[in-house]
Amino acid sequence: MNGAGTSPGVSAAPGPQVFAFAEVGSALDAALELAQEGRLDIWDSVLAESQTAGRGQLRRRWHSPPGNIYAALRLPVSPPFDGGGAAAAVGVLAAEALEALGWRAAIKWPNDLILETAAGPRKAAGILLEERGGVLLAGIGVNVATRPATDALRPEAALGATCLAENAAGRPLPPASELWARLVSHMVSAYTDARIFARTWRRRAEERLLWLGRQVTVIDGAEALEGRLTGLWPSGGLRLVTQKGALECTGGSLRPRDGAK
């Protein structure tokens, strides 16, 4: 397989399969290849111990040291994953799964998961959606054992980083492979009734929106839009109330307007 250092180990447990690799170029690329071969079903996933060419939003390089989760999960191409709300919908499933395992997570629109720490909200996970040839994948990276150092973050990053180990309150932390299997199990269980999830994902996402009700700024290239964050539109866009009324943001970087994090 292109990008894979070794053949995958495949979970033997019933339910969604996890194809585990020691090292890949990108979990997303490995998952796409498996899907094209007819081996990766809906809700199956790829999990890598490390990546040599991981990528994040805007194809930024994603540093991938061992000990964390670097996964790609195949999603159904059906509501709400077939539209602009897909990232928030995946975020809801992942946040609820983390909470079931002991970490209360918020959603920083459009694609980050946040933990509240003594130093304020900090990023613990990121989601990247890619659709190619009818295959929809969610790349999910979770800081489990380590996090990027502060000086390694982009200068314009709205938040610092944290990891699950720093927020485990003394609880023993399972290996990343076991943790991922448990997260997927919770995510699939939450989606079991697709019709209910398609009706409820937006409300559930809004309940977890970081900075809900606060004045925020959305920066998209050279443009900046300010307003009060009041929720999500059915399309998945961010709903801001401005002097011109309620507006929709479909992309950009979100941060609190007062600069406080």
Q: What is the 3-state secondary structure (H, E, C) of the chain?
A: CCCECCCCEECCCCCCCEEEEEEECCHHHHHHHHHHCCCCCCCCEEEEEEECCCECHHHCECCCCCCCEEEEEEECCCCCCCCCCHHHHHHHHHHHHHHHCCCCEEEECCCEEEEEECCEEEEEEEEEEEEECCEEEEEEEECCCCCCCHHHCCCCCCCCECCHHHHCCCCCCCCHHHHHHHHHHHHHHHCCCHHHHHHHHHHHHHHCECCCCCEEEEEECCEEEEEEEEEECCCCCEEEEECCEEEEECCCEEEECCCCC
Question: Do both 142 and 198 map to the same domain?
Answer: yes
Question: Do both 100 and 130 map to the same domain?
Answer: yes
> What is the predicted pLDDT for the residue at 162?
96
- In a domain? residue 4: no
CATH number at 203 reads 3.30.930.10
- In a domain? residue 222: yes
Question: Do both 128 and 247 map to the same domain?
Answer: no
pLDDT averaged over every residue in the chain: 89
CATH number at 234 reads 2.30.30.100
> What is the predicted pLDDT for the residue at 4?
45
- In a domain? residue 2: no
Question: Do both 198 and 249 map to the same domain?
Answer: no
Confidence of residue 186 (pLDDT cuts 50, 70, 90): very high
> What is the predicted pLDDT for the residue at 178?
96
- In a domain? residue 250: yes
Q: Is the pLDDT of residue 12 over 90?
A: no
- In a domain? residue 99: yes
> What is the predicted pLDDT for the residue at 7?
62
Residue pLDDT, tens place only, 58-74: 455 656 788 999 999 99
Question: Do both 240 and 155 map to the same domain?
Answer: no
Q: Indicate the residue among 185, 207, 229 that finishes a domain.
A: 207
Number of domains in the chain: 2
Question: Do both 177 and 235 map to the same domain?
Answer: no
Question: Do both 234 and 172 map to the same domain?
Answer: no
Confidence of residue 5 (pLDDT cuts 50, 70, 90): very low
Question: Do both 151 and 241 map to the same domain?
Answer: no
Question: Do both 34 and 76 map to the same domain?
Answer: yes
- In a domain? residue 1: no
> What is the predicted pLDDT for the residue at 66?
85
> What is the predicted pLDDT for the residue at 52?
87
Question: Do both 197 and 147 map to the same domain?
Answer: yes
Domain of residue 148 covers 9-207
